Amino acid sequence: MQITLLVGTVFGNARQIAQTLALAAPDYGASAQVLDMQDQTIAVFDTPGFLVLCCSTTGQGDVPDNAQGLYQSLEAQARYLGHVRYGLVALGDSSYGDTFYGGAKAFQNRLQDLGAQLVGEVCILDALAADGPDAVALAWFASWAEQARSLDTSASSPT
């Protein structure tokens, strides 16, 4: 099972989480690569395997600058993404109220409109939470990877 972790970040927290998950991937029989959203287009969603978007929020519920191009490409070059199965790690700060994890939500909404399938629950990492984000993300990843594996048609099946 292949996993591509796509990073949208301002200060690097989302990248750190993605790297933590990539290191854990072999524990679940997966290989992982971490890609920055910068310079990516909708074409990245054709990468074989599963995608995990790790995206923070800036401004008032906005996607980070390095994610803007990809986000806009999902509209400007919109096409059906029914082949896409992805996970979502949403970084934010609940003190922002209504715009809490708005950046990740924006991606989720656009991907839903294009027919992409969200696997599992969204992993919400609140900067105000007492638990460290790495531990929360790793706990989420354990169940996410299991769900992804059950959907993985590239795995060899008994004949």
Ligand X SMILES: Cc1cc2nc3c(=O)[nH]c(=O)nc-3n(C[C@H](O)[C@H](O)[C@H](O)COP(=O)(O)O)c2cc1C
Alpha helices in 25-100, H assignment, sequence order:
65-76
Stretch that binds ligand X, among 10-18, 30-38, 73-81, 143-151 (CB under 6 A): 10-18
| 107 binding ligand X? (CB under 6 A) | no
* Spatial CB neighbours of 36, under 8 Å, sequence gap ≥ 6: 6, 7, 15, 66
The tokens of 34 are what?
Answer: 């971490």
102 binds ligand X (CB under 6 A): yes
Least Å from the CB of residue 102 to ligand X: 5
CA distances for 159 relative to 69, 70, 108, 153, angstroms: 44, 40, 37, 14
- Under the binding rule (CB under 6 A), the answer on residue 66 touching ligand X is no
Q: How far is the CB of 60 from ligand X (least distance, A)?
A: 5
* Residue with Cβ nearer ligand X (81 or 91): 91
- Binding flag, residue 129, ligand X (CB under 6 A): no
Torsion angle of C-alpha atoms 126, 132, 138, 140, degrees rounded to 10: -30
What residues between 82 and 101 interact with ligand X by CB under 6 A?
91-93, 96, 99-101
